[in-house]
Structure 1
């Protein structure tokens, strides 16, 4: 396993972060989830990412139990706040001081830890003053409940405003967690340059495009049984944008590039996002322990310029690059 600094900080995290969105507390049994976490630890992964909203808090509980007994100082545990949790009451969502303060306490209890290494705003809250949000995050840090703060799916302008307020409050906003893959490159034109300037790193989710870049979805063929595309608990909603025949056909054409690099298509996809200097880590989930072992082989891989150019040539116009997609996909009002 290779390690990289997270933003302009002294914190090092593993190039592959184990994430439990859509799996723990939902798609897989707790025993299998624990096996996946153990596989991650065995492969040298030290960084684990979750959120209070995943399986309505159950994912945090499963992760906390799976990591119990591990040396806390050797781990980096990340979680997030924004989306509705609990019964979904009027203050059970957003980035108000009330919701942040209550949420961090709940997360720490479920994760069985005194602090998280990174506490992230899961989305931008248009209905709470940013000053209130950042002051609450700063207080969470000063209370020792989080070491650093980050954001997820914020626009470049929102990140800049957040970093400026964080600096005024003498706390470190060091990360952004956006969707990023060969097929979804909307952060490249605005978010990445802004973050590079400000000393903020990317921890990217869905580097395999919800599984599409594994090559298991074939053009004109039925969806594989038990795959994410058939998961009615939420997985199918996220993957459908990529399940077009033109995309699936081009993904199949990536196989010779992966073969030349000695990689599977999934490993090629993870290695590709790690070529970006502003990316500190790629988030990878798993429903089986062996998936973890396969994905970590992308750590430390260097793709040459010819391979990177060949990938661009194959994918062509199927790549989504519009930076406006970040704001377009963000909630305009709080979801309750």
Structure 2
């Protein structure tokens, strides 16, 4: 559990850019066959080149792949998953196996955890922030929880590490996501050109994330998923 586990439950889902947020059942998706057939039709009609899933688990993705292979349809090529300092298990434990078996990569979202990792909430909830907006009371409640306060404390320490690397906290957080095996791309959300340029600066930080530095960050976070075999690009 914790502040950011299950964050997706507070967000809406739908069909966006060819990424289908499918029916969640806890096992195999109810309409996997229909989704695979529909996406194949969309591609055959020239309306898209590829399709991917969003917030599906490994079993559901594998089922879609099996159906596609069985009936000569188009399988998904990526999974859109939440991934940041406090949401790690799926991308680091479950998706790498699919990446090696069937080539499904991860397109991750919320690298800054709704702005939490930038330090926006270190001194409370600003009136202009997302947590202060109507409909985001769940976010404010989590920020004020005991677990939320612990995470904010860890974020302050990570900011000191960012200072050592001569980068911003946002750049460090995004580079940390990019370093993970199987992550094909990281989705960014920005409000202006300055934020976009800052976020793109994470590419130059990536080369500074050495194994010792990653180990230091893991020790600070204290939430490295167990069973991780290979999680960083060499």
With structure 2 as the length reference, what TM-score do the two structures score? 0.79
Aligned counterpart, 1:175: 78
CA distance in 2, matches of 1:276, 1:149: 22
Is contact 2:119–2:155 with CA below 8 Å preserved after alignment?
yes
Distance apart, 1:278 and its partner CA: 0.5
In 2, Cα distance between equivalents of 1:174 and 1:240? 36
| Match in the other structure for 2:216 | 310
Matches within 5 A, 1:58-73: none
Change (3 A) 1:239 1:142: farther
Deviation at 1:225, TM superposition (A): 2.0
In the TM superposition, 1:200-279 aligns within 5 A as 200-218=104-122, 221-234=123-136, 236-238=137-139, 240-241=141-142, 244-279=148-183
1:135 aligns with 2:41: no
Q: Answer whether contact 1:124 1:153 (CA < 8 A) is retained.
A: no
Q: Tell me, what secondary structure is at the counterpart of 1:167? A: helix
Residue 124 in 1 paired to residue 23 in 2? Answer: yes
Match status 1:297 vs 2:198: no
1:263 Cα deviation after fit: 1.2
Structure 2 vs 1, CA of residues 166 and 238 (structure 1 numbering), >3 Å: closer, same or farther? farther
| Residues matched between the structures, number | 206
Structure 2: state its 5+ residue gaps.
1-11, 227-234
Instruction: Give, in whole Å, the separation in 2 of the partners of 1:246 and 1:222.
Output: 14
1:152-171 residue CA offsets vs partner (Å, 9 max, x unmatched)? 11111111111122233342
State the SS of the aligned residue for 1:280. strand
| RMSD over equivalenced CA pairs, Å | 2.5
Q: Which residue of 2 aligns with 1:184?
A: 87
SS in structure 1 opposite 2:49?
strand
Higher percent of residues as strand: 1
1:247 Cα deviation after fit: 0.6
Q: What displacement does 1:238 show?
A: 4.9
Structure 2 residue 60 is the aligned partner of structure 1 residue 161 = no
Structure 1 residue runs of 5 or longer lacking an equivalent are: 1-52, 55-79, 82-106, 108-117, 323-336
1:76-112 deviations in whole A, cap 9, x for unaligned?
xxxx52xxxxxxxxxxxxxxxxxxxxxxxxx8xxxxx
Q: Which has the higher contact order (CA 8 A, sep 6+)?
A: 1
